[in-house]
Amino acid sequence: MKKDELKQAFGGLEPTEELTKEVWTRVEKNMETVKKRKVSKIVKAAAVVLIAAGLLGGINGLSENKLVEALVSFWHVDKESQSILKDMTDYHVMVDTVYAPKLLEYTDQRIIFAGNFGVVVYNRQKQQVAATINLAKIHSNYFNAETLSTQFIVDGNKLYVYNCKKGKTYGNYYCYDLTAGGKEENTQVVSLEPVEIKEASQSMETKRKETQKGKYEETWQQFKNPSQTFDTKMYSEESLQVEEKGKKKDVCLVLDRKVGASEYKVFVFKQDHQTGKIEKEKLAVEASTAGREKKNYPRYKVDNEKSIEAAIVKCFYENPSMYEGYVYKGKEQYSQVEERRCDVAIPVIKITGEKKQGKKVKVMGAFYWYGLVVSGKTLYESDGDGSVAVINLKKTKNGYQVESVVRPRDGAYRLMDLESMFGRDTKAIDQAMNVDLSPHILKKYVEQNKLDFDEYKAFGEDPKKIR
């Protein structure tokens, strides 16, 4: 397809004049670049243009958001920004929170929002992400902790990020120049670096509280019919209070995912404060799957490969359905094994009682597993399951092999079932009742695999050092 024909294809679409010009300028620039490159790169670049041509030629009347979504691969995204956008649109966004990222600013020009994995600056005029900030890099991503919190101040084109501990500022503040991602000639998503780093003062927190007084309200209380409006969607805990054309609006970020889909779509819900009418604006926040890397972290392992514990660990990784086990006096599985939405999965095994009869072995204990996701040098608890159980194994020439895992029924049957399965070993039962993902288990995992992780964070708690 020639350049003139491709440009004509754009004429059949219905975006704004500014957006059409912006997209076409980028495609044209991409095609001009092809002429200057070697053959191997020409083929690659030409393929991108032809794909775009096919998309545009076949769907007239495409909405603006769909247009940008289809052409997202034309915008260059650096590796760090790509990682942040991915983590904000897949299962990672649910880590350590039940809410969508927080809106920091909503204007005609831009939208700024922040979550565990970073800050996103969105250009509303160009309908694309302009810049990102890696919060993990500056250890300022505390949105759901006991004593720690990360605070933000938007002052014109400057964004200040700092931490508080029990309401008092501590450590440094980081100042970012937001204009770096909004320049007219910019054709890529920029990963912003701080332009100023200084010690945070308590006056900053005082200023933030003063300037943000009345700026936020609880989303669930502000929106009419919230259960119907949000349903299974994730929404910002607090709504930004803005005024448009003399009318007050409640504005929040919303993440929605269709059944079976792996990615969340990002929306802004804007409710008229008086009438309750809601406008929905879809944001072109896309993480391209091209070149997406998934790091495979090593398995947790025990020192003695022929031990009972090693056999249970092997069962966890190679036969997760068996590890979940069956309910005592029933055929139903204790828990349905779904896709583990995590970067690292670790079994937590605590054997409290053991009985042997020939080659058969029966052990009682707590057999859980925890899923963790990685952000910078922090491991976040994101998933997990399990309970007390009795595991039946048999001795083999290479150690042991798990034959079955049986878990007690809940409620009043729990103790009764354990005694029936293992006998009245009250000490073993009591010890099995209390177990968690202790930091020493993660320390061992990090040390044995020489991994570069410093902290572990459980839901709603402050991070704990693991190295």
Q: What is the pLDDT of residue 160?
A: 98
Instruction: Retrieve residue 130's tokens.
Output: 């302009």
pLDDT of residue 334: 61
Residues paired with 271 in a beta bridge: 250, 278
**Contact (Cβ atoms closer than 8 angstroms) between residue 236 and residue 100:** yes
Cβ atoms of 131 and 191 closer than 8 Å: yes
Contact assessment for residue 253 and residue 261, using Cβ atoms and an 8 Å cutoff: no
The predicted pLDDT at position 4 comes to 54
C-alpha–C-alpha distance, residues 266 and 27, integer Å: 25
> What span, in angstroms and rounded, lies between the C-alpha atoms of 387 and 366?
6
Cβ-in-10-Å burial (0-12, 13-18, 19+) of 283 comes to buried
pTM of this prediction?
A: 0.75
Alpha helices by DSSP H, 340-395: none
Q: Among 233, 308, 214, 317, which Cα is nearest to 278's? A: 233
Question: What pLDDT score was predicted for residue 20?
Answer: 56
Q: pLDDT tens for the chain, 467 residues: list them.
A: 444 544 554 454 445 555 555 555 655 555 554 444 443 443 344 444 444 444 443 333 344 444 444 444 445 667 788 888 888 887 777 788 899 999 999 999 999 999 988 999 999 988 889 999 999 999 999 999 999 999 999 999 999 999 999 999 999 999 999 987 655 555 578 899 999 999 999 999 999 999 999 999 999 999 999 999 999 999 999 999 999 888 999 999 999 988 777 788 999 999 998 999 999 999 988 755 444 456 789 999 998 999 999 999 999 999 988 998 888 887 666 665 555 678 889 998 989 999 999 999 999 999 988 889 888 889 998 888 888 899 999 999 999 999 999 998 888 888 888 888 888 888 888 787 766 667 788 889 999 999 999 999 988 899 999 88
